[in-house]
Amino acid sequence: MTVDTRVTGSIERGLLVLLGAGAGDGPTDLAYIVDKVTNLRIFPDDAGKMNRSVLDIGGGVLVVSQFTLYGDARQGRRPAFTGALEPVAAKALYEQSLVAIRAAGVSRVEAGEFGADMKVDLVNDGPVTILLDSRKSF
C-alpha cells in the first residue's frame, strides 16, 4: 500500500481489512470485528478445506481505513456518507483496531494512513471476500 510514492504497509500471506467505522461504533463493535478478523477460519487446511485462521497460518493483517464503506447510494447518483463515524472518533477507533489485532496475537499488523489517498495492491487468492458487520444489519 502506498501514499504518494511512500510504502505505508505491506504483508505477504494474510488478510486485507477495509475497516469502516459507522456512527455509534465503539469498543464492543471493535472487539467483535477484531475477534472475527483474527479467528475466522477462511484459510485452507491440508485437505483444502477452509479451516484455518490468520493466527493459525501465522499470517499478517493489513488494515486500511475505508469510510466509503458507509457510502449510501440508494437515492440519487452520488453516495452520501452520513452513516460514517466522524473523522476524529473514526481515526481513534482505527488506531485502536491496530493495537487490538496485535494484542490478539497477529505478529505482523500493517496499516495505511488514515484519511490519505492510498493505492492498495491486492492479490486475492481464492478469491474469498467476507463482509463483517458488528451490527449484523445485512
Domains of the chain, each with CATH number or no CATH: 2-119 (3.50.80.10)
Cell for 8?
A: 505505508
Annotation says 67 is catalytic: yes
pLDDT at 62: 97
Catalytic residue among 2, 66, 75, 129: 66
User: Quick check: 110 and 4 in contact, CB under 8 A?
Assistant: no
Residue 118: its pLDDT value, please? 92
Q: Which of 28, 68, 81, 138 is catalytic?
A: 68
CA–CA separation, 8 and 112 (whole Å): 6
Cβ atoms of 97 and 33 closer than 8 Å: yes
Model's pTM, two decimal places? 0.92
Active site residue 28: no
pLDDT in tens, 9-51: 999 999 999 999 999 999 999 999 999 999 999 999 999 999 9
pLDDT in tens, 75-131: 999 999 999 999 999 999 999 999 999 999 999 999 989 989 999 999 888 778 999
Q: Which of 5, 67, 82, 114 is catalytic?
A: 67
Please state, in angstroms and rounded to a whole number, the distance separating the CA atoms of residues 131 and 111. 19
CB 43 within 8 A of CB 107: no
Would you state the cell numbers that stand for residue 31, as one nine-digit string? 472487539
Q: Give every CB contact of residue 113 below 8 A, 6+ residues apart in sequence.
A: 3, 8
Distances (CA, A) of 18 to 45, 70, 74, 76, 114: 25, 11, 21, 25, 12
Q: Annotated catalytic, 68?
A: yes
Measured in degrees and rounded to the nearest 5, phi and psi for residue 57 equal -90, 0
